[in-house]
């Protein structure tokens, strides 16, 4: 099994606004780091993500002005390492300047069969399950990611 992750947040300003320049300018570099990171498998292409974010009838229709990422990793540990130990962590430290408070950094992770590339509708459905039932075997948020990465490390150390 591989680990899918979907994260999203509402931007304070429209795409292209100069106040988002620091965020927008870093996206290509952060995505390139992800793609070169150990354990990275796949990321939804930019054009497909942009189409999903702008679809008035899609899974993000109730999330206007959204920035989001959907990717697949070999496990929790490589995802956790990417999120916390690379440029991604430094960029996200500035999220208060770019994202609406209380409506940013939403994360959901879930296990998928190798070779499966989820879509945004699947990610939103998993996120809603976590919102309704909390972390569970079907999906989990950031605390569950930390726990899963810790469990993987314990197994590999044991």
158: pLDDT strictly greater than 80: no
User: Of 62, 93, 59, 76, nearest to 149 (Cα)?
Assistant: 76
34: pLDDT strictly greater than 80: yes
Band (157; pLDDT cuts 50, 70, 90) = low
Query: Residues 42-47: what's their mean pLDDT?
Result: 96
Q: How far apart are CA 7 and CA 95, in angstroms?
A: 13
Mean pLDDT of the chain: 92
Query: Residues 66-76: what's their mean pLDDT?
Result: 96
156: pLDDT strictly greater than 70: no
From the DSSP assignment, how many helices (H) and strands (E) are in the chain? 7, 4
Band (101; pLDDT cuts 50, 70, 90) = confident
First to last CA, the chain: 20
137: pLDDT strictly greater than 80: yes
């Amino acid at each position: 099994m591989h680990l899918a992750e979907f994260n999203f947040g509402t931007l304070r300003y429209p795409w292209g606004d100069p106040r988002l320049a620091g965020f927008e300018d870093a996206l290509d570099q952060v995505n390139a780091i992800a793609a070169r990171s150990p354990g990275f498998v796949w990321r939804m292409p930019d054009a497909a993500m942009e189409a999903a974010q702008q679809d008035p009838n899609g899974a993000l229709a109730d999330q206007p002005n959204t920035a989001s990422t959907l990717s697949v990793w070999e496990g929790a540990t490589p995802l956790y390492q990417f999120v916390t130990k690379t440029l991604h962590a430094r960029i996200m430290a500035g999220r208060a300047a770019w994202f609406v408070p209380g409506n940013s950094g939403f994360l959901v992770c879930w296990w998928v069969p190798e070779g499966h590339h989820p879509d945004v509708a699947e990610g939103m459905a998993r996120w809603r399950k976590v919102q309704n039932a909390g972390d569970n075997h079907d999906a989990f948020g950031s605390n569950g990611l930390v726990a899963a990465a810790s469990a993987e490390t314990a197994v590999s150390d044991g």
